[in-house]
Amino acid sequence: MWKLKYILSLIILVSAFACSKKKMKADILIKNGIVYNGIDKTPENISIAIKDDKIVFIGDQNAVIIDASKIIDAKGLIVSPGFIDPHTHAEEDVKDSKKSHNLPFLMQGVTTVTIGNDGSSYFPTQKFKTLYKKQGLGTNVVLLMGHGTIRKEVMGKSDRKATDRDIEKMRKLVQQEMDAGSFGISTGLFYAPGSYSNTEEVISLAKIVAKNDGIYDTHLRDESSFSIGLIPAIEEAIEIGRQAKLPIHISHIKCLGVDVWHQSDSIIQLIERSKAEGINITANQYPYEASATSLKAAVVPRWAESGGLDSLFIRYDEPALRKRILEETKKNIIRRGGPDKLLIVKAVDTIFVGKNLLEISQLLNISPEETVFKTLKTGFVKVASFNMNKEDISNFMKQDWVVTGSDGGSGHPRKYGSFPRKYHKYVKKEKLIDIATFINNSTSRTAEIFKIPNRGKLQVGYYADIIIFNPKTFKDKADYTDAFQYAEGLKYSIINGQISIDDGKYTDKLNGKVLTKNNDKK
Ligand SMILES: [Zn+2]
């Protein structure tokens, strides 16, 4: 008899325990996945529940009863926070209602892109923010203001030092853009008109950004030996951080061209020393050996283009100036490894596309430097410039302060392949970094650097920006001959709690939001 009593009370106890299990309602339940949360070094086999746009549960599913409208079985798949891309040239796509789905990035697992890098942004932020919201976005968007853009608003494209009055006007515009939700300022000190500014000008504007808790993102004044040199350009960025007291983020860190190859060790030491001094300095990097930029920016001397493209050709038509322009252009071509290392990836006249500068010059029977101006006369020309060395790329990639960034713009495969390429080539094949490092430095670290709240980690209360990919098949397909191929292996992408990629297919839904610095509900 006592035995029966005992068993009965045990049954009551067990069922009471079962009933005490918390019941939850969710929109989506992801179970059985290999979960990397964006912070930890080891994955866990746990479940995640999403309600509305947030993560409401993460942990052992047996501890709760979850009633979900959709269940995703992620067995054998990796579950990670959505990738955050700190440097893109997606603004043209984002502005165009036919391309604002941002699929080249979305298919890489990117759920947030940054736009307005390299000193160039659409102006004013408020106007474009409204447009993006109206049109809808495939991914979230983080906005930066361009220093070059602000300078152009106040001073045009002229090659002159800013007066106190110019600086005052620019500082007002910087405040206006921060008020509109910009996360900080980007500079393109290599490009005109950013290149016409001195360090003091940049510090003065960066101080306004610092006051607003923003960040400083830079395309360095020199990534090679074009003007002041690579290391002095990094020293300039550090000095801006020291004086303006704001975090410094170096975009697409690299040693561009034979003159500066193997400087990565000294650069790492320099940055480590500055970090020890208390300067917050980080960088992003794309996993390719070729950079990409306009042919003009790559090889034409800056002084020659002061005033814009028309002024360049007026100078070029003057025999004495033409001689100097051609000599300097020739030197710049050599810096980049020679004319056969400059591949035309985009041009108005498509006959040039897919050929390198040497091939075109042979075809036209003129020198490579003359070929530059012949092709520029036809309009915008973009090149892939093969100028990096494997050792430097690896050296930078191994640093915990270097995050993944695509610098993706049309013509270079990095727009379609950066994140899966880093995973496939550097994590899986070459084992240069482990998978958790790759994920953490593509998610939470980037959110932290850009001060993006409540994203980049899988954590209760955070926005549900989540990707699920197949570790066996996740890879890039785009290359230099066909740069427009979507990456493979992404099974699901959830943005703000809504499914954008479902079993490998785009759902045609624009689930992204414009993120703004001061109030992410704005
Ligand atoms: Zn750049």
How far apart are the CA of 186 and the centre of ligand 1, in A? 10
Q: Residue 58 is inside which H or E element, if any?
A: strand 54-59
Share of the chain above pLDDT 70, in %: 95
Q: Can you tell me whether residue 77 is helix, strand or coil?
A: coil
Any residues with CB less than 8 A from the CB of 70 and at least 6 apart, and which?
27, 28, 29, 499
Q: Residue 11 is inside which H or E element, if any?
A: helix 2-20
In angstroms, rounded to a whole number, what is the distance separating the alpha carbons of residues 336 and 384?
11
pLDDT of 282: 98
In angstroms, rounded to a whole number, what is the distance separating the alpha carbons of residues 394 and 389?
9
How far apart are the CA of 203 and the centre of ligand 1, in A? 19
- The predicted model gives 423-441 an average pLDDT of 98
How far apart are the CA of 494 and the centre of ligand 1, in A? 29
- The predicted model gives 256-280 an average pLDDT of 97
How far apart are the CA of 211 and the centre of ligand 1, in A? 25
Any residues with CB less than 8 A from the CB of 47 and at least 6 apart, and which?
29, 30, 31, 32, 33, 57, 58, 59, 60, 61, 66
How far apart are the CA of 505 and the centre of ligand 1, in A? 31
How far apart are the CA of 187 and the centre of ligand 1, in A? 9
How far apart are the CA of 352 and the centre of ligand 1, in A? 23
Within the chain, how many helices (H) and strands (E) appear?
18, 23
- The predicted model gives 22-41 an average pLDDT of 97
Of 157, 243, 160, 242, nearest to 198 (Cα)? Answer: 160
Strand partners, 344: 383
Per the CB < 8 A criterion, the answer to whether 79 and 458 are in contact is yes
Q: Residue 294 is inside which H or E element, if any?
A: strand 290-294
How far apart are the CA of 230 and the centre of ligand 1, in A? 14
How far apart are the CA of 146 and the centre of ligand 1, in A? 12
The pLDDT of residue 389 is above 90: yes
**Over the stretch 455-514, which tens digit does the pLDDT of each residue have?**
999 999 999 999 999 999 999 999 988 899 999 999 999 999 999 999 999 999 999 999
Edge-to-edge strands of the sheet including 290-294? 290-294, 381-386, 342-347
The one-letter amino acid at 247: P
How far apart are the CA of 117 and the centre of ligand 1, in A? 7
How far apart are the CA of 4 and the centre of ligand 1, in A? 77
CA 117 to chain centre: 9
How far apart are the CA of 110 and the centre of ligand 1, in A? 19
pLDDT of 411: 85
Q: Can you tell me whether residue 43 is helix, strand or coil?
A: coil
How far apart are the CA of 223 and the centre of ligand 1, in A? 10
Query: 12 versus 367: which is more confidently predicted?
Result: 367
Per the CB < 8 A criterion, the answer to whether 254 and 292 are in contact is no
- Mean pLDDT taken over the chain: 95
How far apart are the CA of 407 and the centre of ligand 1, in A? 7
Q: Can you tell me whether residue 106 is helix, strand or coil?
A: helix
How far apart are the CA of 221 and the centre of ligand 1, in A? 10
How far apart are the CA of 299 and the centre of ligand 1, in A? 15
The pLDDT of residue 33 is above 80: yes
Report residue 483 as tokens. 């740069």
Question: Which runs of consecutive H residues, i.e. helices, occur in 277-386?
Answer: 295-299, 309-316, 319-335, 357-364, 368-376
Edge-to-edge strands of the sheet including 78-81? 34-35, 78-81, 466-469, 490-495, 498-502, 505-506
Of 74, 32, 70, 27, nearest to 50 (Cα)? Answer: 27
At residue 522 the predicted structure's pLDDT band, cuts being 50, 70 and 90, is very low
Report residue 127 as tokens. 């106007």
**Over the stretch 127-147, which tens digit does the pLDDT of each residue have?**
999 999 999 999 999 999 999
At residue 158 the predicted structure's pLDDT band, cuts being 50, 70 and 90, is confident
Per the CB < 8 A criterion, the answer to whether 463 and 444 are in contact is no
**Over the stretch 221-246, which tens digit does the pLDDT of each residue have?**
999 999 999 999 999 999 999 999 99
At residue 6 the predicted structure's pLDDT band, cuts being 50, 70 and 90, is low
How far apart are the CA of 118 and the centre of ligand 1, in A? 5
DSSP-derived secondary structure letter, 480: S
3-class SS letters over 402-463: EEECCCECCCCCHHHHHHHHHHHHHHHHCCCCCHHHHHHCCCHHHHHHHCCCCCCCCCCCCE
How far apart are the CA of 70 and the centre of ligand 1, in A? 41
pLDDT of 520: 47
How far apart are the CA of 248 and the centre of ligand 1, in A? 15
Give whole-number Cα distances, 10 to 6, 62, 313, in Å: 6, 20, 91
Q: Can you tell me whether residue 282 is helix, strand or coil?
A: strand
**Over the stretch 297-337, which tens digit does the pLDDT of each residue have?**
999 999 999 888 899 999 999 999 999 999 999 999 999 99
Q: What is the largest CA-CA distance in the chain?
A: 114
- The predicted model gives 158-171 an average pLDDT of 96
Query: 7 versus 23: which is more confidently predicted?
Result: 23
- The predicted model gives 156-164 an average pLDDT of 94
How far apart are the CA of 446 and the centre of ligand 1, in A? 17
The pLDDT of residue 18 is above 80: no
How far apart are the CA of 222 and the centre of ligand 1, in A? 11
DSSP-derived secondary structure letter, 163: P
How far apart are the CA of 443 and the centre of ligand 1, in A? 21
How far apart are the CA of 269 and the centre of ligand 1, in A? 23
How far apart are the CA of 216 and the centre of ligand 1, in A? 14
How far apart are the CA of 25 and the centre of ligand 1, in A? 45
In angstroms, rounded to a whole number, what is the distance separating the alpha carbons of residues 143 and 133?
13
How far apart are the CA of 81 and the centre of ligand 1, in A? 26
**Could you tell me how many residues make up the chain?**
522
Bond into 287 cis (ω within 30): no
How far apart are the CA of 261 and the centre of ligand 1, in A? 19
The pLDDT of residue 360 is above 90: yes
In angstroms, rounded to a whole number, what is the distance separating the alpha carbons of residues 437 and 495?
22
- The predicted model gives 271-285 an average pLDDT of 98
DSSP-derived secondary structure letter, 257: S
How far apart are the CA of 194 and the centre of ligand 1, in A? 12
Of 292, 256, 284, 250, nearest to 416 (Cα)? Answer: 292
pLDDT of 17: 53
**Over the stretch 82-127, which tens digit does the pLDDT of each residue have?**
999 999 999 999 999 999 999 999 999 999 999 999 999 999 999 9
In angstroms, rounded to a whole number, what is the distance separating the alpha carbons of residues 388 and 390?
7
How far apart are the CA of 115 and the centre of ligand 1, in A? 12
How far apart are the CA of 204 and the centre of ligand 1, in A? 22
pLDDT of 9: 64
The one-letter amino acid at 81: P
Q: Residue 241 is inside which H or E element, if any?
A: helix 230-244
Q: Hey, how many other C-beta atoms are within 10 angstroms of the C-beta on 195?
A: 22
How far apart are the CA of 291 and the centre of ligand 1, in A? 9
Label the pairing between strands 215-219 and 248-250: parallel
